[in-house]
């Protein structure tokens, strides 16, 4: 990869990856601020701000923002996560300056018109309602809340209808001013890009984002526990979490390999044992989400209410067993999956731009592909087993379950036995 990086006097970083065989470019602004940067009375404001950025500026109406990019055949979008907010576009090579103009305009010059704000608040309330009607999505919100109770990192990104409706233009401007600052912002671009040209455009268009880095959010505290909700559903939706590792932990890759062996595809232990051999579910998978100061290892399954206790017994056995019996062959398979997934993703300019931005926010530098592959290759059976044992030894798990029947409490109690296994 031909990666170039420049840090502007404001602290904002521009990082690009030239892919000369492409005629398009993916670019965006990534801000190191997300839902965990919200104060208790700001629940949902990060996501609302992301929406409102597209609802009019001092130069463009909401319609003109969309048309400016779509009239040249491009697309523009945004996303809010726990620790970041991203605004990004994909356009033809000749339209990169236009994309930067629009992206800077929506962040530097939003009007937060009261009528637009009221409409968008209604839209987000509808989005919250849609999540409530999707238990396979909602269970992850409940899991996050149970793992990190009473903390911003544990609250849903969307907010609640009450909090979303409570915000006004003044509060949106205050949140933007506090959190959108040069040292916490990255402009990343990949594809048909000219680094020097983007630097020049960024220096001119994003000069107003000054000041020191935003305040650091409170340290996350993984507490665990259980949250059981009885609902009239066809299936029980169960998610379990254990405290994982932060982004910069040296054993992160070993834990990622452990996660892949356990539940990272059709050949994983959980898929084979729970679905293929026992037929206890249709979908089951494991994941690990690293944050700046902690991590969340989790797994999800949907099953019949009567099968929930047995499913959880198998899950607990598989987690505990994997920590002691993972094999060289399993390690090799997951390493191949990780490397192939990385290389396949990097064929996309969008994926490359996103990875560059995430690296800058997490590590302060772009990580070369060769360095990532070397870290994956360095994972051994011993390190993977140790990562698994450390995972189940960190304390009480969190479990969230939605659905019918009395077996949910029993399943939660079985999940708690992981602590005893580690003792």
The answer to whether the CB of 14 falls within 8 A of the CB of 24 is no
User: Along the 423 residues of the chain, how does pLDDT read in single tens digits?
Assistant: 589 999 999 999 999 999 999 999 999 999 999 999 999 999 999 999 999 999 999 999 999 999 999 999 999 999 999 999 999 999 999 999 999 999 999 999 999 999 999 999 999 999 999 999 999 999 999 999 999 999 999 999 999 999 999 999 999 999 999 999 999 999 999 999 999 999 999 999 999 999 999 989 999 999 999 999 999 999 999 999 999 999 999 999 999 999 999 999 999 999 999 999 999 999 999 999 999 999 999 999 999 989 999 999 999 999 999 999 999 999 999 999 999 999 998 889 999 999 999 999 999 999 999 999 999 999 999 999 999 999 999 989 999 999 997 777 888 788 888 766 555
CA distances from 148 to 220, 226, 388 (A): 7, 12, 21
Question: HSE of 185 in the Cβ direction (CA atoms, 13 Å)?
Answer: 29
pLDDT at 410: 82
pLDDT at residue number 406: 74
**pLDDT for the residue 1:** 56
- 209: helix, strand or coil: coil
- Which strands form 295-303's sheet, in the order they lie side by side? 225-230, 398-403, 236-243, 295-303, 284-290
- Which of 280, 266, 267 lies closest to 313, judged by CA? 280
- SS3 at position 11: coil
Cβ–Cβ < 8 Å for 398, 224: yes
Nearest to 38 by CA among 169, 131, 165, 171: 171
- What secondary structure letter does DSSP report for 255? H
Q: Do domains 2-205 and 225-422 have the same CATH topology?
A: yes
C-alpha 104, offset from chain centre: 23
What is the per-residue pLDDT for 65? 98
pLDDT at 412: 79
The pLDDT of residue 418: 76
Q: Is 50 a catalytic residue?
A: yes
CATH topology of domain 225-422: Cytochrome Bc1 Complex; Chain A, domain 1 (3.30.830)
Domains of the chain: which residue ranges?
2-205, 225-422
Residue by residue, DSSP assigns 181-198 as -GGGEEEEEEES--HHHH
* pLDDT the model gives residue 422: 53
Architecture of 2-205 per CATH?
2-Layer Sandwich (3.30)
Q: Which of 198, 203, 183 is CA-nearest to residue 32?
A: 183
Of the residues 38, 42, 50, 310, only one is catalytic, namely: 50
Q: Which residues of 339-354 are buried (b: 16+ CB within 10 A; e: fewer)?
A: eeeeeeebeebbebbb
- Spell 141-174 as b/e; 16+ CB within 10 A means b: bbbbbbbbbebbbbbbbbbebebbbbbeeebbee
pLDDT at 420: 63
- The predicted pLDDT at position 421 comes to 59
């Amino acid at each position: 990869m031909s990666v170039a990086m420049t840090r502007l006097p404001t602290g904002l970083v521009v990082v690009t990856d030239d892919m000369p065989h492409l005629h398009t470019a993916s670019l965006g602004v990534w801000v190191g601020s997300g839902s965990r940067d919200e104060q208790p009375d700001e629940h949902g404001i990060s996501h609302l701000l992301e929406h409102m950025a597209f609802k009019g500026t001092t130069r463009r109406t909401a319609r003109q923002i969309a048309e400016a990019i779509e009239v040249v055949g491009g697309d523009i979008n945004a996303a809010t996560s726990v620790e970041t907010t991203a605004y990004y576009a994909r356009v033809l090579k000749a339209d990169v300056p236009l994309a930067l103009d629009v992206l800077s305009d929506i962040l530097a010059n939003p009007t937060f018109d009261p009528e637009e704000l009221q409409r968008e608040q209604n839209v987000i309330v509808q989005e919250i309602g849609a999540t409530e009607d999707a238990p396979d999505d909602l269970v992850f919100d409940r899991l996050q809340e149970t793992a990190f109770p009473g903390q911003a990192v544990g609250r849903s990104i969307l907010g609640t209808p009450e909090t979303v409706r409570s915000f006004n233009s003044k509060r949106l401007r205050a949140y933007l001013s506090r959190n959108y600052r040069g040292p916490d912002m990255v402009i990343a671009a990949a594809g048909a890009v000219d680094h020097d040209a983007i630097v020049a455009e960024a220096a001119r268009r994003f000069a107003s984002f000054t000041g020191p880095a935003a305040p650091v959010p409170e340290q996350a505290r993984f507490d665990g526990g259980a949250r059981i909700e009885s609902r009239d559903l066809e299936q029980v939706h169960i998610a379990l979490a254990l405290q994982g590792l932060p982004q910069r932990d040296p054993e992160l890759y070993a834990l990622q390999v452990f996660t892949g062996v356990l539940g990272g595809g059709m050949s994983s232990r959980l898929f084979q044992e729970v679905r293929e051999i026992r037929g206890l579910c249709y979908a089951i998978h494991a994941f690990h989400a690293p944050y700046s100061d902690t991590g969340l290892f989790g797994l999800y399954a949907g099953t019949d209410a009567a099968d929930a206790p047995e499913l959880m017994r198998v899950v607990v056995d598989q987690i505990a067993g994997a920590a002691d019996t993972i094999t060289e062959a399993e390690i090799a398979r997951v390493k191949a999956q990780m490397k192939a997934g990385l290389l396949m993703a990097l064929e996309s300019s969008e994926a490359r731009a996103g990875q560059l931005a995430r690296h800058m926010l997490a590590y302060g530098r772009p990580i070369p592909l060769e360095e990532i592959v070397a870290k994956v290759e360095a994972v051994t059976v011993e390190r993977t087993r140790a990562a698994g044992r450390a995972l189940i030894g960190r304390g009480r798990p969190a479990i969230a379950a939605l659905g019918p029947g009395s077996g949910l409490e029993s399943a939660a109690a079985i999940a708690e036995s992981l602590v005893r296994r580690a003792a």
